[in-house]
Structure 1
């Protein structure tokens, strides 16, 4: 029998740690620990059961310890905080983590361990393939939240995972530690999958059954709050979709509209578009350009902080179009804007600096301001990129 009781395991002697985050789970923690201990005994796996306790006040710790689990206290509140501490404290080469509310079956971990032994770094459970029992998942989560967020994760990051938020998953401990996971809340579930995908780890999925939890109290999960935290993480961690693509679309649409309206009014769809539309097109161009610049900034900084891998295409573009070329283009834009401004003044002078008639001067003024804004943004952005380059760690 290879079940390691609390306090007996030493680093390097355990193959599997079964990790459970816990916060006031006295009603179900005992059942979960018993199932996990039973799995270890039945399978003959050298393993331990580890409970990362997030400050329970209902005696959950004592129940877990009495049944043979090792308990580590986690002062910082949060699902992610508990699991990060638990992963660091784990003594197993592999870790299988799962919620301690009895919604997952800790006695059926063979598929996870088999994939891990086959060399996969992360093995995700998939509840949609394994089955969701009646009452186990609210309709909002089952038909909207999970499918939408998982689809966003697959589209944004090219992840092979079909159920981003399954709480039962296994992984190589060293691989997870190398990802430097940091999210303290529920978005930790997304962070693990996203970083594993971006770092090229081997990922597999196995069908997993989700049962109705055994608690009499409401779950810690808050649908809209935690759903937003997941979505926010997916957006912030993928600046292409947050900044680059929307920025490019906005800037190109603005430029196209400006090109159409600078000579004069234009009709389309039975409507007349004039200087008012031209002004908004100018704003779209400037805002879009700024969004693209933010993508460059966030991409460079994210790579320097180890959050995302280096972008070879971006690095090559910056190497060819560095500070000096950017400043030359910025100078041309600013001078063009000043020239258009002088043209505006000339039109005003022709009216003896009185009331202007027509919209010609206003069109030139809008184009002038747009060119100068883009030039100054490009210049300031180029200097900031140069500063980021100076901060880059030297190998």
Structure 2
């Protein structure tokens, strides 16, 4: 049976008794009209309104997703699908399951993931809240294109088709609404063939509130995009802070700077010092985050990043950190000597304050680098090799052999 099916039309379901029958009938009508060997699969997520019986009575296959969540239901459905291709969509009658020809055409042409674009196909009045249409979806889709270079312009369209083998190989992990973002991001990072076709959206047929919660689920999508892009979350802000701190600090170390009628002195130098410290820590987090994400399969490995990590060995970073801290100690010693020369009175000399600020910046930055280097190296420890602690001791071999004898 599994070898003969070309298409599975998958619908996640949680109490969709009002609209499920219409969706199943449209999907079955499409299969009959197109002559495609396929099935309609309902991945039920704990419905209590009889949705399962409705689907089965219409001839759809029903599987149970034990773990709650949109992503969990889809993950179960994808694992249970019998079709070579899968087209997924919500069971609220907002998507047109009777017209899936464009999705099938692109899949047969070799696409791994085909996204629907509601803005290109048409959004009916009342089908999408204004803050989703003009703020949420455009902003999140823009960030997705910016962070990951995906061509998709409707990042969160729920109607999409894909090669089951290709998507199953992405090791999708999220269980909530952010599953939709994870699929697009990992498909793009995995260099799959991702395409987009116009589709329509109409108001759903339910009388109750939708499962989607605008701010909660919008934040989950944004959080996912940031966590999967250490460059934009940590690296770029860190480089900006570090650059500002170094440029401003290097100017102010020599003395106050006058810009127009404003004088920048030792207090501005302190702010520059904080920028250097925060920037260094942010860059370190970017390296650690990228190493962790690559190692545990969240983000595909990068050859350029791997070469960078090979050059940033623990020993080299520790050497640089130690030299930085030694420089800080020298500057701190000079500042302490100046303070002692004033009989440990108030530090009114801006030259002494500059030395102290420079010393503290070097010491803190060096310590941060040292700790970050150790943390990064801990992540790099092999995890599949058998530990020495698990090896039987020599005496254990002796006792087991003696017992057998």
TM normalised by structure 2 equals 0.93
Contiguous gaps of at least 5 residues in structure 1: 1-9
Are 1:330 and 1:375, in contact at CA under 8 Å, matched by a contact in 2? yes
| In structure 2, distance between residues paired with 1:324 and 1:217 | 60
| In structure 1, distance between residues paired with 2:6 and 2:268 | 66
List per-residue Cα deviations over 1:220-270 (Å, max 9, x = no partner).
Answer: 111111111111100111010000000110111111121121222222242
Confirm or deny that 1:374 pairs with 2:365.
yes
Report the CA distance between 1:76 and its aligned residue: 1.5
| In structure 2, distance between residues paired with 1:100 and 1:216 | 14
List per-residue Cα deviations over 1:108-157 (Å, max 9, x = no partner).
Answer: 01111111111110000000110111111111111111111001000110
Confirm or deny that 1:295 pairs with 2:293.
no
Corresponding residue for residue 96 of structure 2: 105
The match for 2:252 among 234, 242, 261 is 261
Corresponding residue for residue 395 of structure 2: none
Root-mean-square deviation (CA), in Å? 1.3
Are 2:314 and 2:377, in contact at CA under 8 Å, matched by a contact in 1? yes
Corresponding residue for residue 75 of structure 1: 66
Corresponding residue for residue 163 of structure 2: 172
| In structure 2, distance between residues paired with 1:253 and 1:164 | 34
Q: Greater CA deviation, 33-42 or 255-264?
A: 255-264
The match for 1:335 among 317, 326, 329 is 326
Confirm or deny that 1:158 pairs with 2:149.
yes
The match for 1:182 among 173, 177, 186 is 173
Q: Greater CA deviation, 373-382 or 28-37?
A: 373-382
Within a 5 Å distance, the mapping from 1:57-96 to structure 2 comes to 57-96=48-87
| In structure 2, distance between residues paired with 1:113 and 1:337 | 65
The match for 1:49 among 13, 29, 40 is 40
Corresponding residue for residue 390 of structure 2: none
| In structure 2, distance between residues paired with 1:269 and 1:136 | 55
The match for 1:226 among 214, 217, 220 is 217
The match for 1:354 among 339, 342, 345 is 345
Are 1:304 and 1:392, in contact at CA under 8 Å, matched by a contact in 2? no
Describe the SS at the equivalent of 1:386: helix
Corresponding residue for residue 4 of structure 1: none
| In structure 1, distance between residues paired with 2:271 and 2:336 | 22
| In structure 2, distance between residues paired with 1:353 and 1:135 | 73
Corresponding residue for residue 226 of structure 2: 235
Describe the SS at the equivalent of 1:391: coil
Describe the SS at the equivalent of 1:52: strand
Query: Which ranges of 4 or more aligned residues in structure 1 deviate by more than 4 Å?
Result: none
| In structure 2, distance between residues paired with 1:314 and 1:334 | 27
Are 1:304 and 1:393, in contact at CA under 8 Å, matched by a contact in 2? no
Contiguous gaps of at least 5 residues in structure 2: 386-405
| In structure 2, distance between residues paired with 1:278 and 1:160 | 43
| In structure 2, distance between residues paired with 1:167 and 1:265 | 58
Corresponding residue for residue 16 of structure 2: 25
Corresponding residue for residue 201 of structure 2: 210
